[in-house]
Every structure is written in C-alpha cells, then in structure tokens.
Amino acid sequence: MNDKAVSKVLVLDNSTAHARTIKEFCERNDLVPLKVRKESVAAVLRTNVDLGAILYSEAYGDTPAETVRIVKEIRALRPELPIIIRREKSSTLDDLAPELRSGCCRAYTAEDLDSLKAAIDQYIFSLIYPNALLRGISEIMDSVLSGQFPNQQVSFDTPYIVHDRIIFGEVLSVIQLESNWCRGYMMLQTEERAFLDLAGEAPGSDDATLFRRVNDRLSEVTNLAWGAFKNRYIGDSTTIASARVQVPLVVNHQHKYISFGTENPQLCFRYTLTDMLMGSTSTLYVRFVFNLNWSPEDFREIAPDADGLVSSGDLELF
C-alpha cells in the first residue's frame, strides 16, 4: 500500500484553462480530486463521507449570485469542510462579497499555488501521521478483519485525511485511545444489514436479535483492533494526569453528524469486505480522532520482548 495519507477534495471549478494546473497540483500534494456536475453538488455533499476540503472557484456559478448561493448551500450542508477559493487576480479574501469571504477559508490564484499549498497544509495536512503508524494500523485492521470474517476478502483504500463529520451507516463504535503521544478515539462505522449479511446472520432472524448481534460483532472487531493498537503503540505508558482533559462528544441523529469538539482533520481507513461467493460487499470506516492530544514526535512502536514472544491465540503458561 501507499503508506502516506491522501485526502479527497471536491473540485468545483469549471475552468478548462486551469484544470490541468489543479490536477497536477493535486497529484504533487497527495490530493485526490473529485469533480461533479453542478446540479449534483448537494447530493454528493449529503452522501460523500470522506472529503478533506473543497476547491472552489470565484467563477463557479453562472452568475455572482449563484456562486454565493452555492457556497451558502455548502456551508449549510457541510460546515466542517474548508472551502478554498480560486480567484483570477488576488490571493486574498479581502475584496470578495461578504458571504463568500465568510464562507471560504483561503484564496489562491492559478499563478500563486503557494497560497493553495499553505491552505491545504493548514486545513488538511495539519496533523502529521507517521508512515509507520499508517502502515501499522492497516496491518492491524487487515489481521482483525481477516480473522473475524475468514470467508470474506478484505480490501482497503489508501488512508484518507478527512474533515467531514458525517456518520456512515447505522452502527458505530467508539473507544478511547490514551497514551503519552496521543489522546482521542478510534471510531468504526458500518451499515447494519450488509455487515450482518457478511457475518452470516440469517435475514429471517427477528430484528431484536439482529440488532444485538451487529452491536456485539462490531464491538468485538473494535476490541480486537484496540487491543492490537494498544499492544503495538501504547504498552504500559500512562497519560500525564494533568492532561486528562475531556470534551463532550455531540451526536446529531437528524443530520447523521458526530462532533468530537475540534475542527482537526481525522485519519480515515475505508475497508471493503467482499463475499467471494455471493459478490455482496460491506463497507467499514475506521477513523482515528486525536482530538485531545497529538504529539507524533513522541510516537514509537513497542518492540516485542523476544524472550517472551508468544503468538496471539497461543497459551503462554506462567
């Protein structure tokens, strides 16, 4: 796998003159550009759960009023997504219409891509994730999912940096991660029916049973992943007591939205489980939200003690 995180950006910019410049910029800067038709923007924003930002254009609308209206619509639908606007002459927000100025976080021009780079560094890649961590999490999840779903094929995308807070599916689990180099949460999200189908749960079972089965199954996947993460990266280290700050988590069911109290981007892994016989698939999102502390300079992988090395599943007798 590519062990450097990328981020998907929605490009709302119809300029053919600058399309190549933007595409090449994205390729150089670990961005995956997504383009949609103007009439589909709202639908995409309602459903796409792994965006890092929006690259907008001052000339996106057919009229200035439409350009403003679309920004307001984006802000209403996805207030957490940074909007970076391309302008023709100026890399500042100063002389924009007030609604655009308040809706966008930074401006750039095609001739001044340093401003765009500064914006993505500030708003998308503001947290540095060590490559060893990305690679390790991928290995952990692959091992856990392959073990829990032995008859399914497990595949995953390159890890993403995301800004959105949209909840995917109907079921999610959240567990704390506490160490001297990170404090936050691991969150798993999936769709109930597809997850149960792959877990081999009979569709005819009553809803109450299925409801509990999916909860328990996701809980065990979470527990195994958490344990492996802890054993590999946290060990016996303890968090400084004075740093035990907490912030409320807010879930809005109406909007399928979860907030961890920070605008920090999140690290996202997307897994697809495929039943090779039936062809059915289930998607699992694994997000890491280091909202309380992130000190990657202190990150370390715990070397296993060679003398006491016992494989998982084996009994170590004392």
Partner 1 sequence: MAQILVVDDSSTVREEVSTFLRGGGLDVVTAVDGKDGLAKLKSDPAIKLVVADVNMPNMDGLTMVEKIRSELKNSTVNLIMLTTESSPSMKERGKAAGVKGWIVKPFKGPAVLETFRKLVA
Q: Which residues make up the interface to partner 1 (CB under 8 A)?
A: 147-148, 212, 216-217, 219-220, 223-224, 226-228, 230-231, 235-236, 305, 308, 310, 312-318
Residue 31 phi, psi dihedral angles, 5° rounding: -110, 145
d(CA 17, CA 39): 22
Shortest distance, CB of residue 196 to partner 1, whole angstroms?
A: 13
Nearer to partner 1 by Cβ, of 21 and 239: the residue is 239
Which residues make Cβ contacts (< 8 Å) with residue 126, sequence separation at least 6?
264, 265
| Least distance from partner 1 to the Cβ atom of residue 266, Å | 23
Judged by CB, which is closer to partner 1: 217, or 270? 217
Q: Which residues contact 242 (CB under 8 A, 6 or more apart)?
A: none
CA 73 to chain centroid, in Å, comes to 22
Nearer to partner 1, 91 or 173 (CB): 173
Beta bridge partners of 10: 34, 54
Shortest Å distance, C-beta 144 to partner 1: 8
Smallest separation, CB 39 to partner 1 (Å) = 45
Question: Closest approach of Cβ 312 to partner 1, in Å?
Answer: 4
Residue number with CB closer to partner 1 (248 or 308):
308
Q: Which two tokens stand for residue 87?
A: 């302008």
Return the closest-CA partner of residue 7 out of 24, 29, 22: 29
Question: Is-contact 71 105, C-beta < 8 A?
Answer: no
Q: Which is nearer to partner 1, 96 or 218 (CB)?
A: 218
For residues 134-165, one letter each, b for 16 or more C-beta atoms within 10 angstroms of the residue's C-beta and e for the rest, the string is: bbbbbebbbebbeebbeebebebbbbbbbbbb
Which residue is listed with tokens 């029916």?
193
3-state SS, 119-142, equals HHHHHCCCCCCCHHHHHHHHHHHH
Residue number, 26 or 140, with CB nearest to partner 1: 140
Q: Nearer Cβ to partner 1, position 235 or 261?
A: 235
Q: How large is the C-alpha radius of gyration of the chain?
A: 22
Distance CA 300, CA 54 (A): 34
In whole angstroms, how close is the CB of 212 to partner 1 at the nearest point?
8
Q: Given the complex with partner 1, which of 126 and 205 has the nearer CB atom? A: 205
Report CA 302 to chain centroid distance, whole Å. Answer: 25
Type of residue numbered 153: Q
- Taking the complex as a whole, how short is the minimal distance between the CB of residue 179 and partner 1, in angstroms? 12
Query: C-beta of 220: minimal distance to partner 1 in Å?
Result: 5
